[in-house]
Amino acid sequence: MSATFMGMPAFPEAARAATGDAQLRHNLRKATRTIRDKRAAVVEELDDWAGLRAAGAAIKNRTLRHLDTYLERLEEAVTAAGGTVHWAADAAEANAVVTDLVRATGHDEVVKVKSMATQEIELNEALAEAGITAYETDLAELIVQLGDDTPSHILVPAIHRNRSEIREIFRAKMAEWGVPAPDGLTDDPRALAEAARTHLREKFLTTRVAVSGANFAVADTGTMVVLESEGNGRMCLTLPETLISVVGIEKIVPTWADLEVFLQLLPRSSTGERMNPYTSTWTGVTPGDGPQEFHLVLLDNGRTDTLADQVGRQALRCIRCSACLNICPVYERTGGHAYGSVYPGPIGAILTPQLRGTASEIDASLPYASSLCGACYEVCPVAIDIPEVLVHLRERVTEGGGHAAERTAMAAAGWVLEDRRRLTLAQRAAAKARGLVPRRLPGPGAAWTDTRDVPDIPAESFRDQWRRRESGAPGRNERKKRGGRR
Amino acid sequence: MRIALFITCVNDTLFPRTGWAVVRLLERLGHEVVFPEAQTCCGQMHYNTGYRREAQRLAVGFVRTFADADVVLAPSGSCAGMVRDNYPRLGEPGSRLEAAVAEVAPRVLDLSELLVDVLEVTDVGAYFPHTVTYHPTCHGLRLLRLGDRPQRLLRAVRGLELVELEGAAECCGFGGTFAVKNAAVSAAMGSDKARHVAHTGAEVLCAVDNSCLMHIGGTLSRQRAGVQVLHLAEILASTEEEPASP
Amino acid sequence: MSASREHVLARVRAALADVPRDEKPEDVTVPDDYARSHDQGEPIGLLVDRLEDYKAVVHRVGAADLPAAVASAMAWRNTHRVVVPADLPADWTSQTATRTVAGDELDIDELDAVDGVITGCAVAIAETGTIVLDGGAGQGRRAVTLIPDYHLCVVRADQVVAGVPEAVARLDPRRPLTWISGPSATSDIELDRVEGVHGPRTLEVIIVE
């Protein structure tokens, strides 16, 4: 993936810039806290949440461990129901398949339902090169598209924009794409939503080809499932003549009945609602109702590499709810752009380096974009142990030869810490130099002392004091009432 | 009871007084504290930064040192969490390390677990006439699942007034090498935590981990907030005769 | 195309080299001891509560009063022309003065010109305040309930289930399904919820007991 995100600075640098942006911090704080509280309230409502979560994780594990079986089953069911299945090993293949399918219809415009998979493969850019215009129809995606911007959140891609910024984007850009923004447009969210309705209605009623993703693909029935709120999804999935769905191979659930788990887990975890306003399911084509041509494009694009890693594999359980973003103290302060990928936040920090590898600077920095506080794991509806995978990927980065200076320092620290005699000597040396520690440290230490004071180093380590006590000699610090200031 | 103290390398080097507070407290309660001198470090920093082999070597040292202990007290939530939660991932399946970890790890406890669950005491006879707020560190909260054990211990301290901390469950931003690798984000998180602490009006911020306290305390000190930080052990060790200084 | 198929499947199989050859999908156990419903109250009362929480307008009537309730809703909305599925029970609209047009005959632009739509449903879920349409009796094709700006939906008491699992079990996945939980909405601007974007901006529900 990713021409758009190429040349991104590594996470720490992008994050530093983001933490200095007061407007961004304010927007993010307000948005993540609102949604966090809503989620907590509706999850609290279900007394068996832990059981649902365990079931969700297990269903996905079953799928992943037997993915070849389920992919073939899905293909068979979709084909039997009148759909056509295509396979794409990478972004280029998927984009070529979709481009050819659109061309075959004779149309040069498509309406799109918000889809992470098509963002990941940068389908819109590929279609544009082929002379096909893709219209994003989710309100937030529209804001991102009109603003020539990139999404910064899985569920609320324009979370970094506030209402007045959105009004400016609508006023400046809507006319270029179709129906212009009304005169006197205010920054009231109602007015902005109304402007989007008018702008997009023309597209919905006239465009003959739609592109979507899917939240779930049911292997035994061939059913696709899309959850949404605005009705743009229903419009795209119902009115056009041709529907093309690009779906990652990990989106499968084995049976229709399995949806009883995910249709409870996903809405409550993502928007903090008991149920999202609209969910559409369809199986192949239905005569007289909806698109009469349906194509399913099954996308690999790095997923099999992820699947091959027995620790990292669990990241493919992700149902893209974004609860981990909303709870993450790091995401709250940096926003999504710092992660340099369409998958930001904790899930992005483990998914992106697996899909793309850890060769680039940004990808190698992502596993470190976390304090390992564990809040993401706690809210994940499919129990992805994100901290475990982060640490696992850090091992991959260090073993891949990255971080040479750190590697040396860590090896040296390990050598000292492995042996109590060496540790004792190091502690005594530090204690001797204690008077020399400046208030502001030079070099890498400055990262600490820029904002924090360092603790005073005591005259004697605990182990030296203990040895003194055991040998009966009075210690220098032992049982002194006042320890050093921290 | 005979309790083996795993002081942890950070406490050993920078906060020996926390170690002595533990010793005073447990001896006061009538227990014996031993200090196996071969101990060094649990390997958390190496493990969390991606240096698995170094962490494995330190884990081997740890399980060897504490093989015979009935109970190991680690006055650091994150080090106890490292042993209990991460050591099982360090040994290869079927290895000696894996077997040794399965033996030793469940016996490694944080101070509040030792007191409440094993020694079955919440009133440890402490006296600390100050206003205190409690930061339930991430590893204490989410790895060890300490629940309200520390708060129950604090509430039983004579003279102590415990006040609520807003956003208590949120990470302070320390995160080991995270504090240096992502210094800007770490500082932003620490600054928000310090602001919440200052808002409580408490004289003392308490936690079960000196690493987090070093980060929050360093921020509070730089901001001249006038709030001191103390490890739980120091408050629980405090008596009228030997008071801990806020 | 089929080269890609074989390529992807081969990669999947190679990635799963650690999975024992004789392991079957069913060998991966899935706990099923979660609740089928959550004792959150009497289902119809709960459904009303949840729907109103989504800002839907809700009425409860006896079977005999349904035609009057439909007429009253039509009058209140001041509708002149609404679309109905061809097989909507005729007595539902027997008392309204509003003209009804059979949906099967209208194209997209004509649907865009009516004042609303009246349908039945397949299932309603109390705990989540969800109405599910499956294109069956009295529901019409999907476009009919999508394009008009006002949707009046009639729910029979025997169509109400407590929780999501019961609904999934009742529904036929081969039919195109639309799960509706309140009117169309967005929270994309500063997480402020705005009801009414592209789908019907008003959802009115009559529950027949």
> Measured between CA atoms, how close is A441 to chain B, in angstroms?
12
Least confident piece of the model among A55-69, A165-179, B191-205, C188-202? C188-202
> Chain C neighbours among A 86-145 (CB < 8 Å)?
86-89, 93, 97, 137-140, 143
Whether C19 is covered by a domain: the verdict is no
What is the rounded distance in angstroms from the CA atom of residue A97 to the CA atom of residue C60?
51
What is the rounded distance in angstroms from the CA atom of residue A234 to the CA atom of residue A279?
8
Contact C184 A45 (CB under 8 A): no
Write down the pLDDT at residue A85.
98
User: B37 and A470 in contact (C-beta within 8 Å)?
Assistant: no
Instruction: Write down the mean pLDDT value for chain A.
Output: 92
User: Is C12 an 8 Å CB contact of chain A?
Assistant: yes
- Structure confidence at residue A93 as a pLDDT band (50, 70, 90): very high
Task: Output the six-digit token pair for A82.
Answer: 């009148």
CA-based nearest residue in chain A for residue C34: A51
Q: What is the mean pLDDT of residues A47-71?
A: 97
Q: Which of A372, A369, A368, A407 is nearest to A388 (CA)?
A: A372
Quick one: which H or E segment has residue A84?
strand A84-88
Task: Output the six-digit token pair for A431.
Answer: 């204690």
Give residue B240's Cα distance to chain centre.
24
What percent of chain A clears pLDDT 90, i.e. is strictly above it?
Answer: 78
Contact C35 A143 (CB under 8 A): no
Q: Which of A391, A333, A339, A395 is nearest to A362 (CA)?
A: A339
Contact B190 A451 (CB under 8 A): yes
Edge-to-edge strand list for the sheet holding C160-161: A252-253, A216-218, A223-228, A278-283, C177-180, C130-133, C123-125, C160-161
Neighbours of A153 (CB within 10 A): 24
Q: Is the pLDDT higher at A93 or at B223? A: A93
What is the rounded distance in angstroms from the CA atom of residue A184 to the CA atom of residue C36?
51
User: A112 and A232 in contact (C-beta within 8 Å)?
Assistant: no
- Structure confidence at residue A164 as a pLDDT band (50, 70, 90): very high
> Chain A neighbours among C 138-177 (CB < 8 Å)?
141-143, 146-147, 164-165, 167-169, 173-177
Give the nearest partner residue to A482 out of B48, B219, B245, using CB atoms: B245
Write down the pLDDT at residue A5.
57
Task: Output the six-digit token pair for A439.
Answer: 């208030």
Contact A451 B176 (CB under 8 A): no
Q: What is the mean pLDDT of residues A234-263?
A: 98
Give residue A120's Cα distance to chain centre.
11
B197 in the same domain as B141: yes
B143 in the same domain as B105: no
What φ, ψ does residue B115 adopt, rounded to 5°? Answer: -70, -55
Domain count, chain B: 2
List of residues 6+ apart from A238 with CB closer than 8 A: A280, A290, A291, C142, C143, C146
pLDDT tens digits, C144-202: 999 999 999 999 999 999 999 999 999 999 999 999 999 999 988 888 888 889 999 99
User: Is C89 an 8 Å CB contact of chain A?
Assistant: no
Whether B124 is covered by a domain: the verdict is no
User: Is A287 an 8 Å CB contact of chain C?
Assistant: no
Last residue of a domain, one of B97, B118, B139: B118
Contacts A453 to B, Cβ<8 Å: 217-218, 221-222
Which domain, by its residues, includes B34?
2-118
Last residue of a domain, one of B118, B151, B183: B118
Domain count, chain C: 1
B185 in the same domain as B84: no
What is the rounded distance in angstroms from the CA atom of residue B131 to the CA atom of residue C163?
48
- DSSP single-letter state for residue B2: E
Write down the pLDDT at residue A486.
39
Neighbours of chain B (3+ CB pairs under 8 A): A
Whether C156 is covered by a domain: the verdict is yes
Q: Strand ranges (DSSP E) for chain C?
A: 57-61, 81-84, 99-102, 116-119, 123-125, 130-133, 150-156, 160-161, 177-180, 185-186, 194-195, 202-208
> Chain B neighbours among A 435-464 (CB < 8 Å)?
444, 447-448, 450-455, 457-458, 460-463
User: Is residue A401 pLDDT above 80, yes or no?
Assistant: no
What is the rounded distance in angstroms from the CA atom of residue A119 to the CA atom of residue A150?
10
Alpha helices in A49-90 (DSSP H): 49-65, 67-80
Task: Sort strands C81-84 and C116-119 into parallel, antiparallel or unpaired.
Answer: parallel
CA-based nearest residue in chain B for residue A393: B50
> Chain B neighbours among A 373-412 (CB < 8 Å)?
373-375, 377-378, 388, 391, 393-399, 406-407, 410-411
B113 in the same domain as B6: yes
B28 in the same domain as B93: yes
pLDDT tens digits, C105-155: 799 999 999 999 999 999 999 999 999 999 999 999 999 999 999 999 999
pLDDT tens digits, A281-337: 999 999 999 999 999 999 999 999 999 999 999 999 999 999 999 999 999 999 999
Whether C94 is covered by a domain: the verdict is yes
Instruction: Write down the mean pLDDT value for chain B.
Output: 96
Whether B79 is covered by a domain: the verdict is yes
Neighbours of C31 (CB within 10 A): 16
Which domain, by its residues, includes C109?
41-208
The label of the residue with tokens 């009046």 reads: C152
Whether C15 is covered by a domain: the verdict is no
Write down the pLDDT at residue A481.
40
Question: Do at least 3 CB pairs under 8 Å connect C with B?
Answer: no
Whether B123 is covered by a domain: the verdict is no
- For chain B, list residues with pLDDT below 70: 246
pLDDT tens digits, C35-55: 888 888 899 999 999 999 999
CATH number at residue B227: 3.40.50
Least confident piece of the model among A6-20, A108-122, B12-26, B214-228? A6-20
> Chain C neighbours among A 209-268 (CB < 8 Å)?
218, 221, 223, 229-232, 234-235, 238-239, 249, 254, 256-257, 259-261, 263-264, 267
Last residue of a domain, one of B89, B118, B147: B118
B81 in the same domain as B41: yes
User: Is residue A172 pLDDT above 90, yes or no?
Assistant: yes
Contacts A430 to B, Cβ<8 Å: 13
Whether B33 is covered by a domain: the verdict is yes
Task: Output the six-digit token pair for A218.
Answer: 């049911």
Q: Which of A113, A141, A110 is nearest to A232 (CA)?
A: A113
> Measured between CA atoms, how close is B12 to chain A, in angstroms?
5
Write down the pLDDT at residue A484.
39
Neighbours of A305 (CB within 10 A): 16
User: Is A195 an 8 Å CB contact of chain C?
Assistant: no
- Write down the number of H helices and E strands in chain A: 23, 10
CA-based nearest residue in chain A for residue B176: A371
B139 in the same domain as B89: no
CATH number at residue C77: 3.40.50.10420
- Contacts across the A-B interface (CB distance below 8 Å): 205
List of residues 6+ apart from C28 with CB closer than 8 A: A58, A61, A62, A65, A66
What percent of chain C clears pLDDT 90, i.e. is strictly above it?
Answer: 86
Residue A347: burial class (beta carbons within 10 Å; 0-12, 13-18, 19+)? buried
Contact A205 C182 (CB under 8 A): no
Neighbours of A100 (CB within 10 A): 12
Q: Strand ranges (DSSP E) for C23-70?
A: 57-61
Largest CA distance in chain B: 53
Neighbours of chain A (3+ CB pairs under 8 A): B, C
Write down the pLDDT at residue A402.
66
Question: Would you give the end-to-end CA distance of chain C in angstroms?
Answer: 55
What is the rounded distance in angstroms from the CA atom of residue A164 to the CA atom of residue A174?
15
Structural domains in chain A plus CATH codes: 67-301 (3.40.50.10420), 306-400 (1.10.1060.10), 409-477 (no CATH)
